[in-house]
Amino acid sequence: MSDTALVVMARYPEKGKTKTRLARTIGDDEALHLYRAFLIDLAQCFVNQEDFDLHWAYAPTEANYASFMATLVPSLAKYMRYFPQEGADLGVRLHAVFKEMQKRAFHNTIVIGSDVPHIGRDIVANARKALDEADVVLGPADDGGYYLIAMREPYDVFSGIPMSTDVVMQMTMNLAHQQGLKVHLLQPLFDIDEITDLLRLAELLEQDSPLAPATAGYLTRIRNLHDDYSNLGSYAATFNLHRAH
């Protein structure tokens, strides 16, 4: 057992409840397939590493996430651990994750979202190294939130912060500084919530498909399905037109 836990905040993929903002553009079915690709890439990237133990904090609580992952990545599932998210909002659930990992005797906890399939091992390694000096490590997301948060102790840097807004990152830093905590920032990264994010990811993976191979394969399949397909925006219009009929 490593002294560091890497925890992915994830959902059980359900049609109509998965990547809902993106689904408004590309449709519920494609959003579901895309999210499954995200999970495959994260599992394949981070499972069975010497520097940390991989956990999945899942929602909803009634989901059998271990069974789902055994179907999604059969050869990898036994190397991962699973536990349900607890709390009424994201801030409470994040705080609960750090408390849970402390109970499990991990000295360091790194939490990432499940909508950054292009996050690399180097970023997680940098977060772990930064914890040698910092109390709170944050990975700034381009939308004003963060894609990663790491701490040695379950400090409350969540209370009163309106999650899923463009002030999350700044308010989290302010709350940490008010408690006298040292904050370290990692390189910025974008997460995948809107069609513009997906277009950006598609461009990135065209240049570096091994960064997220399952997601790259999904995007290639879409591209091949539409001869005149030059971007995901045109695909979305085509998809929605076909669905309407």
pLDDT digits (tens, 9 = 90+) for 8-55: 999 999 999 999 999 998 899 999 999 999 999 999 999 988 899 999
pLDDT tens, residue by residue, 166-206: 999 999 999 999 999 999 999 999 999 999 999 999 999 99
What pLDDT sits at residue 234? 54
What pLDDT sits at residue 226? 53
Distance CA 4, CA 172 (A): 22
Q: What is the 3-state secondary structure (H, E, C) of 73-134?
A: CCCCHHHCEEEECCCCCHHHHHHHHHHHHHHCCCCEEEEEECCCCCCCHHHHHHHHHHCCCC
List strand residue ranges (DSSP E) for the chain, in order: 4-11, 53-59, 81-84, 108-113, 136-140, 146-151, 183-185
Domain ranges of the chain: 4-191
Q: What CATH code would you report for 4-191?
A: 3.90.550.10
Cis peptide before 60 (omega within 30 of 0): yes
Task: Please state the rounded mean pLDDT for residues 71-99.
Answer: 96
Residues in the chain: 245
C-alpha distances (whole Å) from 89 to each of 11, 83, 161, 189, 200 are 14, 17, 10, 23, 29
* Residue 225, pLDDT above cutoff 50: yes
pLDDT tens, residue by residue, 103-149: 999 999 999 999 999 999 999 999 999 999 999 999 999 999 999 99
